[in-house]
Chain A
Amino acid sequence: MNESVAPVRELPAVTLGEIFRTFLAIGATSFGGGVVAYLRSSLVTKKGWLDDESFLEVLEISQTLPGLNATNMAVLVGDRLRGWPGALVGFFGMLLPGATMILILGVLYASNSHNESVNAILKGVGAASVGLLLAVTLQIGHKQLEKRLDVALVVLTLVLVSFIHVMLPIVLLTVGPLAVFLYRPRAHLPHKADDQTFDKRPTD
Chain B
Amino acid sequence: MNPGSLFSLLWVFSLLSIMAVGGGTSVLPSMKDFCITMQHWVTPDQFRDIYSLGQLVPGPNMLMVIVVGYHVGGYPGALVAFSGFFVPSSLIALGTGRVWNHFEGSPWRTAIQRGFAPIVVGLMLAGTIAIARTAVVGSTTLAFAAIVFVVLYFGKKMNPALLIFAGGIGGWIFLR
Contacts and interface: CB of A to CB of B under 8 A. Distances in A.
Interface of A: 1, 3-5, 27-35, 58, 60-72, 75-76, 79-80, 84, 87, 91, 94-95, 97-99, 101-103, 105-107, 109-110, 113, 116-141, 143-145, 149-151, 153-158, 161-162, 165, 167-169, 172, 175-176, 179-185, 191, 193, 196-198, 203-204
A99 B66 CA distance: 7
Contacts, number: 395
Contacts of A130: 128, 131-132, 135-136, 145, 148-149
Given A66-B18, A128-B144, A150-B121, 5 more contacts: A68-B62, A129-B51, A130-B145, A131-B149, A132-B164
Interface of B: 15, 17-27, 29-30, 33, 45-46, 48-64, 66-67, 70-71, 78, 82, 86, 88-90, 92-94, 96-98, 100-102, 104, 107-108, 110-132, 134-137, 140-142, 144-153, 159-172, 174-176
A99 B24 CA distance: 15
Nearest to B78: A103
A64 B116 CA distance: 8
Q: Which of B82, B150, B167, B176 has the most CB of A within 10 A?
A: B167
Contacts of B27: 168
26 contacts: A32-B161, A32-B164, A65-B92, A71-B86, A72-B90, A103-B78, A106-B70, A116-B176, A120-B175, A122-B171, A124-B171, A124-B172, A125-B167, A126-B167, A132-B163, A134-B128, A149-B118, A150-B121, A151-B118, A153-B118, A154-B119, A168-B19, A180-B108, A193-B113, A196-B117, A198-B117
